[in-house]
Amino acid sequence: MRHTDVIHVYDTLPQRYRELAHRTAIVTGASRGIGLGIAARLAREGMNVVLCGLEAQETTAAALAIRELGGATRSLAGDLTHETDLERVVSFAVESYGSVDLLVNNAADIQRTRLADLSAESIERQWAINVRAPLMLSQRAAAVMQQKGAGVIVNISSVGGQRAQLPGLPYGMTKGALDALTRNLAMDLGEYGVRVNAVAPGWTPMNLDPVADAEYVRETSAFLSIRRPGTPSDVAAVVAFLASDDASYITGQVIAVDGGLSAQIHPPEQPI
């Protein structure tokens, strides 16, 4: 999903959780794709949303696209591998809207390679973005949430954290660590009224051409039980639920949103 796509889906998004209105959410990696879909859905629920992204122009445009449709948004650009940029995220949300009620750790580096081609630089960068940044942002957001005795953290993981793929390094390793982080944060923060869960998307392509890539989508969808790719809105719907009061007894869970991908031993009609 790109910021121009928000216009086409925003009005069709359901508003289900009215208790989320006027609460404040931070979404990292929110200038495109799944992050933008999450930001749009939370804004549609009436939340104040801080969109964080790597590129200033793209992040600003994404926030503006939602704001022009009636959503309450602010944008913040920065590289979460840099300590100074990481430090600004939670303080910016508090300065903008007075509090933080929801943190969605979505930003990720998703490059995958074989072991023989793996570089130290790629390991360090993915660890910094995919694991360290969610941990440090959670620490800062939780400190704010604890003051009011309530809050929600949702980490965007991947089915690659639970199942191996080839090539899959170091991305799958970092997402497995993010799943473990989710469970540990849930145990650590539960007594303060803060819930922590993760959503693990499956195949969710964002940059396909509906016409030119139609055959590829049809063939690949045949490997899934539901026979279609996932969308940012599919993931966003689960994030909104986890943020809502309906999920008040759910914490420490990793929920797959993958069309049945991780449930199967082999693809449909292709037994091994």
Active site residues: 171
Q: How far apart are CA 108 and CA 6, in angstroms?
A: 21
HSE-up (13 A, CA, CB side) for residue 243: 33
Q: What is the residue whose two structure tokens read 């931070």? A: 26
Q: How far is CA 192 from CA 98, 118, 151, in A?
A: 19, 40, 9
Q: Which of 195, 92, 87, 193 is nearest to 147 (CA)?
A: 193
CA 115/CA 118 separation, integer angstroms = 5
Task: Name beta bridge partners: 74.
Answer: 50
* Strand pairing report for 169-170 and 112-113: antiparallel
> Residue 25: which region, alpha, beta or left (left: phi > 0; alpha: psi -120 to 50)?
beta
- Reading phi first (left if > 0) and then psi (alpha if -120 to 50, else beta), residue 15 is in beta
Cα–Cα distance, 194 to 142 (Å, whole number):
7
CB-based contacts of 141, cutoff 8 Å, min separation 6? 26, 90, 100, 103, 151, 153
Q: What percentage of the chain's residues is helix, strand, coil (to nearest 5)? A: 50, 15, 35
